[in-house]
Amino acid sequence: MDATVSKRWLLARLYEPEQTIVDCRFTLGKPQAGRESYEQEHIPGAVYLDLELDLSGPVGEHGGRHPLPDPQVLAARLSKLGIGNDSRIVAYDDESGMNAARLWWLLRYLGHEQVFILEGGFSAWKAEKFPVTDHQPVRVPSSFVPQLQSQMVAGVDKVRQVSEQTVDAEAGKGETASHPALPLLIDSRANDRYRGQNETLDKKAGHIPGALNYFWKDTQNADGSFKSAEQLAEHFAGLDKDREIIVYCGSGVTACPNVLALEKAGFKKVRLYAGSWSDWISYSENPVATGEE
């Protein structure tokens, strides 16, 4: 099944007991806005998970602006909300799917495959006159036992190695020049941030040397839904499906919809650099590139 579900699909299954709907609305710079929106109105039965309090770990010297949460801490939070290993989760937000995709990725990282994203998000749901409520459900705790899928993550050492090899290959140096199996680095941020021309969130501007730019919002239609598998395959047509791909963004959030889109387009070897750009620049020795690759 596709990683996304339609509004009518969810409407038809709104009250199925094995399902948990998760509201992931969050506004950067306004950390209370998402929860306040949830408390005002949400899809019936939905619980709330906060990007920074639930779907991220504490910020430190390294790890980026939204470090991965501790798997056991997240599992305990899921259990408290009544989410178990047999639950089907449908996540939504109002930010073009970026926060919902973060939960989608995290759950799969914890070994849980039954997780989906609502196409179009909350505003599209409400625009269809589908039901909303301010009632917060009482949840019976469950047991969520994580089975970590460590192969889904690439750390800074791996990314540094790939970057160095890519730069050498582009310069025609060493054995890497004829090594087509070299992993690809994908930067998911807007092109002006990738080029280093408009950085408003992080202390340094630019991108990881050797990375290509595929803006995450280009994977979506005007209504905030994801493009079809065929459209996404065309969007990523310049990439080799046999090569490993490491995706990053500013802090590991907007890279997640790009991971989803790549997998929807048929790419099988996709990993997330969770700390992303904000982690990369926390190491003073890491080089920074600007302009186009």
Q: What is the pLDDT of residue 293?
A: 80
Instruction: Give the sign of the dihedral formed by CA 25, CA 26, CA 30, CA 36.
Output: positive
Rounded mean pLDDT, 85-105: 97
Residue 56's CB: how many other CB atoms inside 10 A? 23
Q: How confident is the model at residue 292 (pLDDT cuts 50, 70, 90)?
A: confident
Integer Cα distance of 242 and 225 in angstroms = 27
Both tokens of 51, joined, read 């990007």
Q: What is the pLDDT of residue 178?
A: 44
Catalytic member of 21, 89, 249, 255: 249
- pTM to 2 decimal places: 0.95
Q: What tens digit of pLDDT does each residue of 44-60 get?
A: 999 999 999 999 999 99
Q: What is the CATH code of the structural domain delimited by 4-149?
A: 3.40.250.10
Q: What is the DSSP letter of 109?
A: H
**pLDDT > 90 fraction of the chain, expressed in percent and rounded:** 88
Residue 133's CB: how many other CB atoms inside 10 A? 12
Of the candidates 156, 144, 59, the one whose C-alpha atom is nearest the C-alpha of residue 103 is: 144
Q: What is the pLDDT of residue 180?
A: 60
Q: What is the pLDDT of residue 28?
A: 86
Would you tell me which CATH number, out of the four given (3.40.250.10, 3.30.70.580, 2.60.40.10, 3.10.20.30), belongs to the domain 153-280?
3.40.250.10
Rounded mean pLDDT, 125-148: 96
Rounded mean pLDDT, 115-141: 96
Q: What tens digit of pLDDT does each residue of 69-78 get?
A: 999 999 999 9
> What are the distances in angstroms from CA 34 to CA 28, 141, 188, 262?
9, 23, 23, 28
Rounded mean pLDDT, 200-222: 94
Domain layout of the chain by residue ranges = 4-149, 153-280
Q: What tens digit of pLDDT does each residue of 149-192 get?
A: 999 999 999 999 999 999 888 776 654 444 567 899 999 999 99
The number of residues making up the chain comes to 293
Strand 270-272 relative to strand 4-5, pairing: unpaired
Per the annotation, the verdict on 256 as an active-site residue is no
List, in sequence order, every residue forming a beta bridge with 27; answer none if it has no partner.
30
Longest dimension (CA), the chain: 63
Q: What is the pLDDT of residue 173?
A: 60
> What are the distances in angstroms from CA 101 to CA 129, 246, 289?
24, 16, 28
Rounded mean pLDDT, 208-216: 97
Integer Cα distance of 280 and 259 in angstroms = 19
Q: Is 247 helix (H, G, I), strand (E, B) or coil?
A: strand
Instruction: Give the sign of the dihedral formed by CA 195, CA 196, CA 202, CA 207.
Output: positive
pLDDT higher than 50, residue 98: yes
Least confident of 109-123, 162-176, 179-193, 222-236: 162-176
Rounded mean pLDDT, 225-251: 95
